[in-house]
Structure 1
Amino acid sequence: MPSFFTAPDGTRLAHHARGEGDPLVVLPGGPMQASVYLGDLGGLTAHRRLVLPDPRGTGDSAIPADPATYRCDRQIEDVEALRVHLGLERMDLLAHSAGGSLAMLYAARYPHRVARLVLVTVIPWALGRPATGEDRLAAARLREDEPWFAAAFPVFEAWLTGAREAGDDDFAVFGGFFYGRWDDTARAHAAAMDEQANAEAEERFHGPGAYDPPALRAALGHVTAPVLVLAGEVDGGPRPELARSAADAFPNAEFDVQPGAGHYPWLDDPEWFVRRTVAFLDGADSPPPSAG
């Protein structure tokens, strides 16, 4: 069952708790995807109590009165309200994908409230560094030996170049490019995603005025909390070199690449993902980077 708290603008927001241990607040991606797609993050619930907010207008959270508040920077205070609601002086924070832009903006505004920060397959939109279609196609070409590649790549390329608008059937064809392993688990995960998203909110999230990259980069230079930026080896958005640029924005950051992983690394190799994340959150000596 969800628990609820109230954002500063009066919107009723939901969060879900899974697992035991010290809390880890997890910001979903999408953008504007309900938190259910995160599951237990590959078994991370065995080590931490995951606090999984549903962004406004998604999942069990209410639709805001003002749709302009879907913009990323307008949601910083939602994260702060959750921290206050949880009674945490400082919090460990993990963000996936588009949630990473919100996490970076939050860390810039409230650096003293972040204990540790994990950024998982995060495109650094907030730093003015979006993934390009060519990034995604270059990563897709790494999969040419997989049996579904020949049918999937032309459809994927047509979608990225705007030659066609992809429908649900097309996503089922090229969805493998977002996962390191295109197996039954990944197919079921991909099939459920559309039902969990808010299309209007997604369009507004990165809207004009959301980001000031130079100001953000300057602010992040003063964030002293340890940061882990984790990329997937075959992810196209972001490719590892783009993800690294997020790590470069922090003075105390580690960067690692999960071998064989796509955009949802906890599904591709749960054991690797959990081991690396827990080691960082616990402050253990970091293993040597696997790539990059």
Structure 2
Amino acid sequence: MPHYTSYDGAQLAYRVLGGAHPGGDDGPEAELPAPLVCLAGGPARDAAYLGDLGGLSAFRPLVVPDQRGTGGSPPPATPGAYAFPRLAEDVEALRAHLGLERFALLAHDAGTATAQAYAAAHPGRLSHLVLLNPGSRLQGLLPDDAREIFEARAAEEDWWEDAYVAVRLLSHATDLDEIRSLLLRAAPMAYGRWEPPQQEHAADEGVQLNPVPRAAFWQGVTEGERQAVVDGLAAVEAPVLVVTGDRDAVTGMRAGEAVAACFPDARLRPLHGVGHYPWVDEPELLRPLLDEFLA
């Protein structure tokens, strides 16, 4: 697994899926498809859950970093380095390491906060920005349509009652093994349907948790710092694609609308029958959408 040196000297890991290493010895970079840097969410979930984004790596190299304290990247000396504005500076160090003057950035879930912090701090470095299933905590908004989406499925899903109980228990659980068990019981609410591909994807969530980085992702970010990120999005000239799912009972759809409204050139694409992981539910819908946008 390759590593890069970040702003504080930390050696952080990343993977390249598909194509050739954009910073390697495989020939002139101009001959390669443009790489797409992909940020995992969670917060602080191991990036392995992204997989190859439903086969997208067959069309362009995906550069997938392990954020601090996850995967092959070590924890920092201070918890403050887990906060999303600092994680954005890790992205800038990765860009420099790869030798990319401008690049396309994709982020999922909580990783979209890191991506927005990067866009606000380094707007000229982005050629495209893709935000999959974002929340809007960064915008200071907590829409309740995710709950509405979940409750609307009560009459049609045999897993619903157990998932409902698990969601309520999760708010009070502190034991890590119990949390992992409850997450698996609640998992169907995050998908457009509960079939073998979704079940296989959900089965790994428990072992991909990293509690300390997760807790520190939002901590230590002042109100002024948060607002500065939001204000900075107005200066992002790169085109932005915001993808939501009409069965996403984790972040819902209204959060994506709030995020898209912060950018001068944003396109909002809701996907039908899709939950929180569109590359799992409908890869044949997501992949062409991303290909067209990134072209």
After TM superposition, the score normalised by the length of structure 2 is 0.89
The answer for the alignment partner of 2:76 in structure 1 is 64
The answer for the alignment partner of 1:120 in structure 2 is 132
* SS state at 1:207 partner: coil
Residue 41 to residue 264, structure 1, CA distance change in 2 (3 Å): same
Residues 124-273 of structure 1 correspond to what in structure 2 (within 5 A)?
Answer: 124-130=136-142, 134-144=144-154, 145-160=156-171, 162=172, 167-209=179-221, 212-273=225-286
Contact 2:244/2:252 (CA < 8 Å) preserved in 1? yes
Say what the alpha-carbon RMSD is for the aligned residues. Answer: 1.9
Contact 2:145/2:253 (CA < 8 Å) preserved in 1? no
The answer for the alignment partner of 1:78 in structure 2 is 90
Give CA deviations for 1:75-109 in whole Å, capped at 9, x if unaligned: 22100000000000001000000000000010001
Partner letter of residue 18 of structure 1? L
Partner letter of residue 150 of structure 1? E
Q: Distance in 2 between matches of 1:72 and 1:217?
A: 13
The answer for the alignment partner of 2:6 in structure 1 is 7
The answer for the alignment partner of 2:29 in structure 1 is none
The answer for the alignment partner of 2:47 in structure 1 is 35
Partner letter of residue 148 of structure 2? A
The answer for the alignment partner of 1:107 in structure 2 is 119
Partner letter of residue 142 of structure 1? A
- Structure 1 unmatched runs, 5+: 283-292
* SS state at 1:81 partner: helix
Range moving further from structure 2, 64-73 or 163-172 = 163-172
Q: Distance in 1 between matches of 2:263 and 2:120?
A: 10
| 2:55 corresponds to 1:55 | no
Contact 2:189/2:250 (CA < 8 Å) preserved in 1? no
Contact 2:43/2:214 (CA < 8 Å) preserved in 1? yes
Range moving further from structure 2, 211-220 or 61-70 = 211-220
Q: Distance in 2 between matches of 1:12 and 1:210?
A: 27
Shift of 1:27: 0.7
Partner letter of residue 119 of structure 2? A
Shift of 1:142: 2.5
Partner letter of residue 37 of structure 2? V
After TM superposition, the score normalised by the length of structure 1 is 0.89
- Structure 2 unmatched runs, 5+: 20-32
Q: Distance in 2 between matches of 1:239 and 1:115?
A: 27
Q: Distance in 1 between matches of 2:246 and 2:103?
A: 28
Q: Distance in 1 between matches of 2:218 and 2:249?
A: 19
Q: 1:96 aligns with which of 108, 113, 117?
A: 108
Aligned residue pairs total 278
| 2:18 corresponds to 1:19 | yes
Q: Distance in 1 between matches of 2:275 and 2:183?
A: 16
